[in-house]
Amino acid sequence: MRTYFDHEKLDVYQLELRFITWVTRLLAKIKQRPTDARVAEVSDQLDRASLSSLLNTAEGNGRRRRQMRAKFFDDARGSVTECAACLDALVAKGTCTEQEVEEGKEMLVRIASMLTKLIALFDSSSSSVVREEPPDAEFDDENEEEGENDYSECLRLMHTLMQYRHEAIHSKLLKIRDKYSMLHLDVLILIYHFAKICSGNILEIGAFIGGATIAAAFGVCDSGTRKKLIAIEPGGSVKHKRLGTRNIFRDLERNLARQRVSELVTTIKGRSFDPATISAVNETLGADKIGLLILDADAAKRRDIECYCDRFADGCWMVIDDYYGIGTNAKITPSRADVEALTTAGYLQPLGFYGWSTWVGRWNGPQR
């Protein structure tokens, strides 16, 4: 059978389809036999449970959040054990023999085992006690690795970046980078791309004098859709050979005006974690979600993420600077510790490292 969706590539999904085919034949035989109403109820329940397992597996594979994936896979496993109980009931009622249901029970054991492994993969709190197979049994058709999906998305992102290098936006953002940004050109291109494709609004924490803000604004323009772009910057001054400024916030607004994107950007002067700033962001967003977070402020990455995570869309794109570096950058170690802690907890999905020190990924954390 030709596959069109990712869930169709799962071995467990294909095995569930085989079980449904087997169950359909079994139920057809049962209907030809004299049965009472109670047996008909068991047959109907077996039919529903077999479909429930298949549908929950498909939906679980389509979820981005690890906990939601685990939940749907767990629901699918529950339906599998329900199928097994229905087969036992048919034997107990004398409708089927043990030999007739043996093939189905063997398939259910394999399906339950594969789902158990998927649950363990996506939910660190899942119990290792629950097993539907002997401890030494191994199945070579277990290919449901989360890493495969992540790997494919990483490659797609790299290919997208390569394509942009041959488009006009590349030279346009190169000029923006030289004038207004300390970020690598590749990072600005990805910010442009995410702003263009994201389903949601954009929040930037640490806008500096506007390089990334302008890149995101260009992406919003080229998306052809209305998106809110919010840039938080506390202001101050910076000594820098190329981008030194005595008034960061003033130069931010001037640069946005020079690039004719001021009307696309809501600038907020303040610290990201101040209640007044958080309130201003929430007021600007209204009921809308954030589809892209650009984080390039101080070293407290987790603090800023926790301030706004209740507004993140599922799969929100994340661009976090100061993840890697050498020399005297004091932000690197605490920044990396925050990102790695959130990644280990399953809240962040890493998709690569770009430029000199920038982490790129997606939000997999809880939705509120």
Question: Which tens digit of pLDDT belongs to each residue from 285-339?
Answer: 999 999 999 999 999 999 999 999 999 998 999 999 999 887 667 889 999 999 9
The runs of H, that is alpha helices, within the chain are: 11-31, 37-62, 66-92, 98-122, 146-164, 168-180, 185-197, 211-223, 248-258, 275-285, 301-308, 332-344
* 157 has pLDDT over 60: yes
How far apart are alpha carbons 218 and 202 in whole angstroms? Answer: 12
What pLDDT score was predicted for residue 206?
97
Instruction: Please tell me the pTM assigned to this model.
Output: 0.63
What pLDDT score was predicted for residue 146?
54
Place of tokens 């043996």: 102
| Token output for 135 | 């401890």
What pLDDT score was predicted for residue 65?
78
Place of tokens 């802690």: 341
- Give pLDDT tens digits for 91-136: 999 999 999 999 999 999 999 999 998 888 887 554 443 444 444 4
pLDDT: which is higher, 221 or 327: 221
**What is the residue-averaged pLDDT of the chain?**
89
- Give pLDDT tens digits for 168-197: 999 999 999 999 999 999 999 999 999 999
What does the DSSP 8-state code read for residue 201? E
Q: Are 132 and 33 in contact (CB under 8 A)?
A: no
- Give pLDDT tens digits for 22-38: 999 999 999 888 767 67
Instruction: Kindly state the average pLDDT of the residues 13-22.
Output: 95
* 140 has pLDDT over 50: no
Closest CA to 335 of 309, 358, 362: 358
Domains of the chain and CATH, by start: 6-135 (1.20.1440.60), 148-363 (3.40.50.150)
What pLDDT score was predicted for residue 124?
53
How far apart are alpha carbons 252 and 325 in whole angstroms? Answer: 26
